Every structure is written in C-alpha cells, then in structure tokens.
Amino acid sequence: MLSKKPTRPPTLALVADQRIPGVEGSYVWSGRAVDRLLQVPPERTVVRGGEILRFEGDGPPSDEAFLWAYPLSDGKHAKLLPAWEGPLDPHRLAWRVDLAPGDYVVAIFRVWTRHGDVTHYFALKVIPAASGE
C-alpha cells in the first residue's frame, strides 16, 4: 500500500536480458490528468512468438491491468484495431506473446482504485517461435 501518495504514477519495465523501461502515456494521478496519444517507442525489443514476457513496476501491484497489442502499419504508426487484447493478472504482469511475426506496440494500462491509473508502451519485433516449440 502506498503510504504517501507520490506525485507521479509508478513506472513499468519489460524484464528481458535487461530492464527495458516503458514509455509513459496518459495517466490520472494525485488529481493531475495528463493525456498523451499512443506512444510508439523508437527501439524494438525482439521477442519470439510464444515467449512469456514479464513486466515489473515500482510501487505496489495495481488493482487491475489490461494489455493491448497494436500492429504497426509502417513501423511507426499503430493500426486502430488491436491484434490482441485482454486482462493481465496485476500481481504477476506476465503475458505469452500470441502474435504473428511483425512489429507491434504494446500498451499496458494499470489501475489503482485509490490512487489513479497509467498506461505504458513497449515496442516489440515478434519473430517466429524457435523450431521445436
């Protein structure tokens, strides 16, 4: 539980060979609302289809978490309809990459009932699963 309400929402990182910080998007926190359009990070993290990705945030687990994966139409602009969407376990923050090979931006939206909400973005390059998987 947050003892003192921070002025900024918690951060989120993809945990792979290294920690890859998410790009902060829109949030409502401490009475402040910041509205940002979908953010497409410039660097892609290469992942395999079927791989399980783990995300870690600072601060306490959120009460709810949701993930959307948007295909990138030209490497820079996301298509309007997600290729995958659904809830995440807010205490585990893990997701199996169930996407065709290609470039995507993943949006993770987390909600703390008593504190606010925030979206973080990650750019992925999905490659085929290794043979035998």
Distance CA 15, CA 8 (A): 21
Distance CA 91, CA 61 (A): 6
Give the predicted TM-score (pTM) of the model: 0.91
Question: Containing domain of residue 107, as a range?
Answer: 23-127
Establish if 91 belongs to a structural domain. Answer: yes
Indicate which CATH number applies to the domain containing 112: 2.60.40.10
Q: What confidence tens digit (pLDDT) does each residue in 95-111 have?
A: 999 999 999 999 999 99
Q: What confidence tens digit (pLDDT) does each residue in 57-109 have?
A: 998 899 999 999 999 987 678 888 899 999 999 999 999 999 999 999 999 99
Establish if 30 belongs to a structural domain. Answer: yes
Percent of the chain that is helix, strand, coil (3-state, to 5)? 0, 50, 50
Establish if 13 belongs to a structural domain. Answer: no
Report which of 119, 124, 108 is spatially closest to residue 24, judged by C-alpha positions.
119
Establish if 6 belongs to a structural domain. Answer: no
Q: Which amino acid is at 84?
A: W
Scan for tokens 């079927």, then name that residue: 50
Cβ pair 124, 47 in contact under 8 A: yes
Domains in the chain: how many in total?
1
